[in-house]
Amino acid sequence: MDGREKRRRDDDEAEARRRKKEAKRAKKEAKRAKKGGGGGGDEDGGDARRDEDVRAPTTPMKRTPSVEDFRKEHAISIANACAKTKDLEPYTTFEEATAFPKSLRNALKAQGYANPTPIQAEAWPILLKGKDVVAVAKTGSGKTCGFLLPALCGVAARGSQKAPEMQLVDGRWRPGAVTPTVIVLAPTRELAIQIHDECAKFCPAVGCRSTVLYGGAAKGDQLRALRQGADVVVATPGRLNDFLEPPPGFTAPVSAVKASYVVLDEADRMLDMGFEPQIKKIFKLCPSARQTVMFTATWPKAVQKIADSFTTNPIRIQIGSGGDKLTANKSITQSVEVLEEEEKWERCVAILKKELGKSDTCIMFAGTKRRCDFLDRRLRQSGFSSAGSIHGDKDQYEREMVLDNFRKGRGNILVATDVAARGLDIPGVAAVIVYDFPLQVEDYVHRIGRTGRAGKEGKAFTFFTKDNRGAANEL
């Protein structure tokens, strides 16, 4: 009796397991039929579909861009770097720049920048390693932030400078010298002021100060600014030399003994303007154990020579092709029109009426100071909103006032000589009119480079006369 009872119980359990398996199989087939849009409940069809699902994934795999892809896309080349340095991955997003303090990354985002530009992406990790760098990149490529942020990162690590204390010199109390850790040299007053304005956006994020020194302005105002203390000094070479080596009987308001990070911005322009002797004087007063950074738009032999003199085993980062030859920004649509001299004005008016909207801005380049003022007056007489003209004969206050008018929309046309052709970063310039073609094609490239900046599109209209025919082939 006990044996029969046990067999019956085993049979019941086996039957329960079989029914459970059949229920599971029926449930799976019902799900497959629902996905397949109807029939196909038989076992063979289900197996075929299962094989299909394995062989053909529903979403293709997305390839992650590599460092090589990034460098190829932006035509980036890196020279003189060891394998370890060359393998440093560029910062393609601000989140990757974890070496920067969080406050500095937040300041970047607050300015509305989406991602680092190619020169920033490549230069930042190398500069943060303390290497000397020579960066060759076109105008409008974000070079200022490229060298400025690693400098501020170093200031944040060392701590900011206090205001200089009073010192007893020859029986008189005098302010001590300011000892900046960062010196940035620029060829023109306008570029120095512009770099200083960029410093003002980011210095508060790391609790440091900057000041700007340039000729054509009163030294007293600049001295008062220095006495508050300065971690970053932005200067033109001539004025900085005046403050580093004052006349006999005066104490030097600036000392370069702690300048561990020195930048030459627009290095090729500084050589063209004859600043090499003054730059050499400044470097002699800087410590030999320093980090030197050079940013340039071209890489001719003269710039290579000065780079060898002032840097130690520099890593050269080049964005785009060209090297020793200056190339125009590909974001600019260029139109060159062959005209007679007397046809220029009518054509200029036609372009302004057709191409310039109410909110668009334009820079017009003239060949001489006199022509510059003439065009400014004639634009106003013709009903156009001119912000004014800038050239070498205008004092610094007038030049700054005109630039401020243009930036703030109090006039959407700026007339200028080549004083505005390089270094100036005026966002959103829709068009450039080269009214008088310059003596050199290189100056033409810099003039049209005022538009099409920061990844935006731009237009350039150039008037070419028979007097300019010597530049036709190179153009």
Are the CB atoms for 471 and 437 separated by under 8 Å? yes
Are the CB atoms for 116 and 91 separated by under 8 Å? yes
Tokens of 411: 């006039």
What pLDDT score does 3 carry?
55
What pLDDT score does 42 carry?
46
User: How many angstroms separate the CA atoms of 406 and 388, rounded?
Assistant: 8
Are the CB atoms for 148 and 233 separated by under 8 Å? no
Are the CB atoms for 202 and 148 separated by under 8 Å? yes
Region of residue 403 (left: phi > 0; alpha: psi -120 to 50; beta: else): alpha
pLDDT tens digit sequence for 430-446: 999 999 998 888 788 88
Residue 81 vs residue 368, higher pLDDT: 368
User: How many angstroms separate the CA atoms of 82 and 134, rounded?
Assistant: 15
Nearest alpha carbon to residue 79 among 239, 261, 255, 311:
311
- Which of the four pLDDT bands, split at 50, 70 and 90, describes residue 55? very low
Beta strands in 47-171 (DSSP E): 76-79, 133-136, 166-169
Nearest alpha carbon to residue 186 among 288, 280, 296:
296
Output the average pLDDT for the chain. 82
Q: 262: which DSSP letter?
A: E
Any idea which of 2-11, 72-81, 404-413, 452-461 has the lowest mean pLDDT? Answer: 2-11
What pTM does this model have? 0.72
Dihedral through CA 277, CA 280, CA 282, CA 285, nearest 10?
Answer: -140
pLDDT tens digit sequence for 270-318: 887 888 899 999 999 999 889 999 998 778 788 888 888 889 889 999 8
